[in-house]
Amino acid sequence: MVGKKVALSAAAGQSAGAGTLAKLNEVLGFGKTELLPTDKQVGVALAPEAWGTGKLTLSDEDEARLAAEADAFLALVAE
């Protein structure tokens, strides 16, 4: 895992996966990966009805945030 470039995203309830992202950052940091900075990582809070559909439905804002994260990761990979 040393030197591997990693982007993290989460989709969860009201926390938007904040705890999961924090723990993954901690664990992957020990593995000496090159993580996308936390301010570029995206957590999405799923609406309650999303849990019953089995489909990820994103707001325009969430789509834009995820697109920005993907762009930041592509820039990291290109370094």
- The string of pLDDT tens digits covering residues 6-28 is 999 999 999 999 999 999 999 99
Per the prediction, the chain carries an average pLDDT of 94
Is residue 31 predicted with pLDDT exceeding 90?
Answer: no
- Could you tell me the pTM of the whole model? 0.86
Q: What tokens appear for 42 in the block? A: 């995206």
User: What pLDDT, on a 0 to 100 scale, did the predictor assign at position 61?
Assistant: 96
Structural contact between residues 7 and 73, judged by C-beta atoms closer than 8 angstroms: yes
Closest CA to 7 of 79, 59, 74: 74
Is residue 37 predicted with pLDDT exceeding 90?
Answer: yes
Is residue 49 predicted with pLDDT exceeding 90?
Answer: no
